């Protein structure tokens, strides 16, 4: 489906079924190749992370750091993050990225604590991932192994993909919070579903989209 959508987007008004069928093999092969490359990079943690400070307005003190992922192509050129996340969600692989980010950052928090440094970090989790029970169980397993780091961890739920089953997601979020992990809802105000999330899930922080307050 991802291959077909990409083809249709590029063809605009010149789309024909015969043209699609003529390129179907190449489209599918290119998609599978991209999926394989993405999976390898994620599983081997071959990506960079950037720590963006989030400050309190009254005194400009750092409240926490939001962790941003950075991928580069073979020529060293930065791949736009939104493009990457969109691809991962459409091919049902974003949960692997989210889990890899958690793995890396729990280790980072632990290393900081070993040096006597406390730094709270927020790791983005796609709403799509919350609908994957295997992902959620893997998160719990990570939490069990890194309990000492959880006081410095926040999960930031993004709305790049809508949460399909809010009730189930709310149960997993409640389970995460039992470990002392705080939950943040990202980009509040960009969609009507935000209000449904607030009423259904236990949220510690809300990040209001800039367009909503201008």
Mean pLDDT of successive 10-residue stretches along the chain, which has 214 residues: 48 52 63 85 90 91 94 89 86 93 95 94 92 95 96 88 82 96 80 67 80 56
128, 150, 154 from 113: Cα distances, Å? 31, 11, 16
Distances 182 to 3, 40, 63, 155 between C-alpha atoms, Å = 37, 30, 13, 6
2-11 and 17-43 helices cross at what angle (nearest 10)?
120
Q: Which pLDDT value is given to residue 10?
A: 53
Q: Can you point out the beta strands (E) in 3-136?
A: 48-55, 62-72, 78-79, 121-126
| Residue 154 backbone dihedrals phi, psi, to 5 degrees | -125, 145
For residue 199, the model assigns a pLDDT of 75
Q: Give yes or no for a contact between 64 and 120, defined as CB atoms under 8 angstroms apart.
A: yes
- Residue 33 tokens, joined: 């190749």
- In three-state secondary structure terms, 100 is helix
Predicted local confidence at residue 156, as pLDDT: 94
Parallel, antiparallel, or unpaired for β 121-126 and 182-188? Answer: unpaired
What per-residue confidence (pLDDT) applies to 15? Answer: 47
């Amino acid at each position: 489906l991802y291959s077909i959508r990409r083809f249709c987007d590029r063809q605009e008004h010149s789309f024909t079924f015969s043209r699609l069928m003529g390129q179907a093999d190449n489209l599918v092969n290119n998609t599978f190749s991209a999926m394989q490359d993405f999976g390898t990079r994620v599983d081997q943690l071959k990506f960079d992370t950037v720590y963006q400070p989030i400050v309190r307005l009254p005194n400009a003190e750092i409240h926490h750091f939001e962790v941003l992922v950075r991928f580069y192509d073979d020529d060293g050129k930065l791949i736009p993050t939104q493009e990457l996340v969109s691809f991962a969600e459409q091919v049902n692989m974003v949960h692997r990225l989210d889990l890899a980010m958690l793995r890396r950052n729990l280790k980072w928090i632990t290393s900081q604590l070993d040096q006597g440094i406390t730094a709270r970090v927020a790791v983005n989790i796609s709403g799509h991932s919350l609908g994957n029970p295997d992902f959620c169980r893997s998160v719990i397993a990570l939490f069990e192994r890194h309990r000492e780091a959880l006081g410095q961890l926040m999960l930031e739920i993004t709305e790049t993909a809508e949460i399909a089953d809010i009730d189930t997601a709310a149960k997993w979020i409640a389970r995460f919070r039992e470990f002392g992990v705080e939950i943040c809802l990202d980009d509040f105000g960009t969609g009507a579903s935000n209000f449904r999330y607030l009423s259904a899930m236990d949220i510690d922080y809300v990040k209001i989209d800039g367009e909503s307050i201008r």
